[in-house]
Structures are given as C-alpha cells and as structure tokens.
Structure 1
C-alpha cells in the first residue's frame, strides 16, 4: 500500500505520539471503568469465559482506526513525472580528420589516429541532440559521412577510417573546403568544423586561407587542433619488404600559425594536443563551448491515496462498535 508513496502533509504523523499515551491512560484507568463487588467466596460463579481477557482488543481496534485516520490526514499520494524536451538551438558539426601517414606516429598511444578515433567517439556520444558528419583528408579529401543525427552511422564510419584510403600528404585546405561544402546548406543556427591535423599543408589545389574565407562567408566556426608532441616522434619513415612500415624518429612539423589564423578568422579557437590526456581535454572543452540549448518541460501528476486509509479506519471502528455492543456488552 505504501510502495512509491510520498506524503503531502507528513507533519500529521506527530499525532501518532498520542497513541502510546492513550495506551498508558487505558491501563491506569481500566480498573475504574468496572464496578467492584466484594463477596466472601466466588464459589458457585462460573469464571471459565475468556471474553473479559479480550476486552483490550476494543482499544486496539480504536487505536488502529485512529492511526489510519492520521495516515489519511498526512495525504499519501503517488507522483508520476513525465518530461518533454525541445531543442531550441541545434548544432551541425563536421569533424575533419587528417589520415596521412604521419597520423600513425606513436607519440600518442597506440598511435595518433587510434587515439583520435577513441576520443572523437566519446565526443560524438555526448552530442545526442546534434547532427554530425565526418570528412577524411590526406593528399586529397572526401566526405566519409554527411551530417546526420544517427550517431550509430557516424560511429561506424569513424571506426572504418584508416590510413591508406587516400593518397598520402596533408591537404588542409581541401579538408576544410570539403567540410564547408557539407555545412553551407545547413539551416542550423550554429555550424561548427573541428579540423585536426599533425602536419603542414603540402597537397591539394585549394589554399587553406581560401577555405577559411569560405567558412567565414557561410558563418561556420572552425576549431583547429594541432596533434603531436613537441620535438621528435616515432613515425613511419619507410616501407619494409613485407609492406609494413619502418618506424624511426622524425621531427614533428605543425603549421601552428596557419591553424591559429583559421580559428581566429572563423571565430573558433586553436588547440595543441601533445598526448592522449590533452587531446581528450581539448574535445571536452569544445564540447562545453558548443552547447545545444534544450528546453525541458516537466509534468507532474499526483494521485491521492488517502481514501483506502479512511475506509480502513471506518471498518475498524465498525468492528469495534459491533464487538462493544454484542460480545463485550455484558462486560462494559
């Protein structure tokens, strides 16, 4: 009866303290309720009836009825809360990912590309109300996934991104331009590109500054991330006879000035990630900077549960009255 029940007026439960006082009063005053008769002997009187011993049952019934009434006064009720959310500011996001051979460098664990995919997957999962697309670029660029609200499609596409799908190189301008192309028709209030690279622009036929101007024209904010440790990193430097990479130390070259200019021109921000923890922190910061505004409407429905307690109290009082005027009538 009390499962998932709360009380609107729990202060009435203080009245339950009167019940022990009523019990004490009864045991102190019960001898005065019955008239006494002094006789020299009870021989000849039958004393085998057990009904007088059950007389306190009347008090118990009355007290239980009183407890039920107090519980009803406390207004037991159940609460059903339903909510409806309304997205008032949706964000369309394109993640442009460098997949050149340098992304296989092992200064991040297990390598830059794998570390990025893991962090990017967590970022995508934290954006349930936004549309997200993926662009991959190396010596050229292509759209891996158009912007979509289906996160499972985006996550599957992210897992499929590997080195070797494009000619090697770093076409930052191409990656940015393709991302702009994916967002230019978007009707979202906020449009964002997250451009990540670990190198300098050395491929493609679109200059990064030209792509940045396009982003400005279509009001697309760009966050840029330079990935890689300062100094040298263990990176692919040649192929072995079996086709696998031979690794060696190679200088990390990131055109930070270019990435800063792109971010500044488009109203975004530049970040530098030198290890897994910093990369994760950068995506967390971007996640906080680009918040989707959501209105939540909550509806609460209360269902009163005091009536069963009133019925119980009435039933107990009726039983007490019947017993008092039938079974225990000759003893009162």
Structure 2
C-alpha cells in the first residue's frame, strides 16, 4: 500500500510478543508426557501426514495475532488536496531597450540575448503574477499586454530582436511612459515596472522625469537596470552591404543619475549589470523583493484500512478453531 500512515503506531510494540509465543510453543512441545510399555507391536500403523501438519494451527494463530496488531495500529491512507488563493497578486511590465547598442558584446553573446535568457527565467519563476512586455528605442510599443499566460510572454521575449522596426536611439521616457500606460488601470495590489537601458536618453518626446512622476501618481514602483560594462566595449557602429554589423571598441555611457532618480522617486531600486552573472543576480534580487502573498488550504481525506486486517485476523482464528476440532482433532 502506498502513502499509508498509522494512527496508533505504538501498538507495533506488541510484535515483541510474537518471539515469546514462538519460544513458549517450542518449549512446551519438548515437554511431552511419556509412557513406557514392553512392546509397541499392537500400535504399529502408517504415520499420518496430518500429524506433521499440526504446527500449522500455531502458524495460523501467529498470523492472526500479527494481523490484529496491524489493525490496532489503525493503518490509513491520506488524500491531500490543495486550494490556493492569491491574496496579493502583482502586475509587472518589463520595458526593454532594443536599440542597436544592445548588440554590444560585453555580455555574452551580446546584451540583448543575455537579457532575454535572464528575463525568461524571471517570468517562469513568477507563475502567480501577470506580466507584460514593452520594447523601445527612439520609439516604443507594447509587445505583450499584462497577462497571466506565461507561454505568450515567453514567446514574445524569444521574438525580441534588433530589426530596425523602431527608429534607433534611446527614448527612456518613451519606454517608461508606455509601460505606465499598461499598468495605470491595473487593479493589482502591487504594480511594478522593470526598466532596462544601456545608454542615455537621447530620443523621444516624453521626458523620463515626467514619466516617472506619472508612475508615482499611479502607485507604480520602478526598478531600473543599467546594462553594460565599465569602460570600453565592442559595439556595432555600421552595417556592411551583406547585412552584418561592423564592430569597434567604444565608450560605454549609461545615464546612471537619471536611472537612480527614477527608481528613488517611485520607491524602486537601481541596479547595474556589468556581466551575465550580475544581470542574473539582479533579476533574482527583484524576484525576492517583489513577493506574491499566497494563501494555501489543505484538505485531508482519510481512508481507514484497518478493517481488512481485523477481518483477516478473525478468519484465521476461525480457521484454526475449525481445523483443531475437525481435521486435527485426533492429534491434539
């Protein structure tokens, strides 16, 4: 039997009586009365197999005792069902910079691909929240509205790439404002934006500080991430006739003061990801900071299994009494 528990396991101590009973039976069998006579010729007869089977009665009694002990221990199986209520769900929008500089190779294989891997792990680690996706360069658009369908979000993340659909540049205000627009009417207890960039605000018609003021007005917390190493990095600067990028070493510039101001104003935090490991650690830290309260109720359904052992013990005892008073009557 699988998943069996015992309500009264202390009754298993009664099994120490089994060896005692066996020892008593053997000792008693050796102390048999003897009768001495001058000749056994008048008693000669073929030995009966039943006389050799009489110990079977004792075996039946031991089996009955064992079954009774197990029945007293109250074996039962437990079926546990869970009911989960999300008491404090979170709506999250990831706003991702997809400008050409995100192809810089200071993270492996580049910033954008490293981000997609880490962001996918983040999505999978939050099964109870709704997540949306915004991409931006000089302009911005919603790639996925907030949804609880993680397959949709993961598929959208996998499809994020630099494809020149958006005018190149870095419009941090545009990316933040679009993310705010996706969350402003959310009824979630907590609303969060993860805003990532690798540059400075040089495009778009919305000021990042104004966008952060709007986020604060709607009670939206913004975690900002600056991605890129310190110093020089191998950055794309031109496209060859065959469509491949030309790379050269260029200075990494991130407007950290702006990103820190946005995070501070909205009660979020600013992080700097200089390599793949630190980027992963940042998303893990945000995952810990934004926890969803879950109320779980467990229901236990007990199925008693002692009856089968009690019935077996009764049958074994009846069988012993029946055999003792019928088949083995002449040998006892």
Per-residue Cα deviation, 1:80-123 (whole angstroms, up to 9, x for no partner):
00000000001000000000000000000000000000100010
The alignment partner of 1:139 has SS state of coil
Is residue 227 of structure 1 aligned with residue 227 of structure 2?
A: yes
Structure 2 match to 1:199 = 199
Structure 2 match to 1:11 = 10
CA distance in 1: counterparts of 2:159 and 2:30, whole angstroms: 90
Per-residue Cα deviation, 1:251-300 (whole angstroms, up to 9, x for no partner):
00000000000000000000000000000000000000000100000011
TM-score by length of 1: 0.97
Per-residue Cα deviation, 1:22-67 (whole angstroms, up to 9, x for no partner):
11111111244x5432212222321421222211111111111000
Structure 1 match to 2:57 = 58
CA distance in 1: counterparts of 2:2 and 2:148, whole angstroms: 39
Instruction: Tell me the matched-pair count.
Output: 330
Deviation at 1:215, TM superposition (A): 0.3
CA distance in 1: counterparts of 2:50 and 2:56, whole angstroms: 10
Q: Per the alignment, do residues 133 and 3 of structure 1 end up closer, same or farther by CA in structure 2, a change over 3 Å counting?
A: closer
CA distance in 2: counterparts of 1:31 and 1:258, whole angstroms: 98
Structure 1 match to 2:139 = 140
CA distance in 1: counterparts of 2:61 and 2:276, whole angstroms: 71
Structure 2 match to 1:188 = 188
The alignment partner of 1:327 has SS state of coil
Deviation at 1:179, TM superposition (A): 0.5
Alignment of 1:135-284 (within 5 A): 135-163=134-162, 164-284=164-284
CA distance in 2: counterparts of 1:4 and 1:209, whole angstroms: 59
The alignment partner of 2:246 has SS state of strand
Alignment of 1:116-127 (within 5 A): 116-127=115-126
CA distance in 1: counterparts of 2:70 and 2:245, whole angstroms: 77
CA distance in 2: counterparts of 1:18 and 1:74, whole angstroms: 15
CA distance in 2: counterparts of 1:7 and 1:59, whole angstroms: 27
Structure 1 match to 2:107 = 108
Is residue 99 of structure 1 aligned with residue 98 of structure 2?
A: yes
The alignment partner of 1:248 has SS state of strand
Deviation at 1:17, TM superposition (A): 1.4
Deviation at 1:131, TM superposition (A): 0.7
Structure 1 match to 2:39 = 41
Structure 2 portions without partners, runs of 5+: none
Question: RMSD in angstroms over aligned alpha carbons?
Answer: 1.0
Per-residue Cα deviation, 1:109-160 (whole angstroms, up to 9, x for no partner):
0000000001000101111111111100001111111111111111111111
CA distance in 2: counterparts of 1:3 and 1:196, whole angstroms: 51
Deviates more, 1:232-241 or 1:171-180: 232-241
CA distance in 1: counterparts of 2:251 and 2:2, whole angstroms: 67
CA distance in 2: counterparts of 1:329 and 1:35, whole angstroms: 19
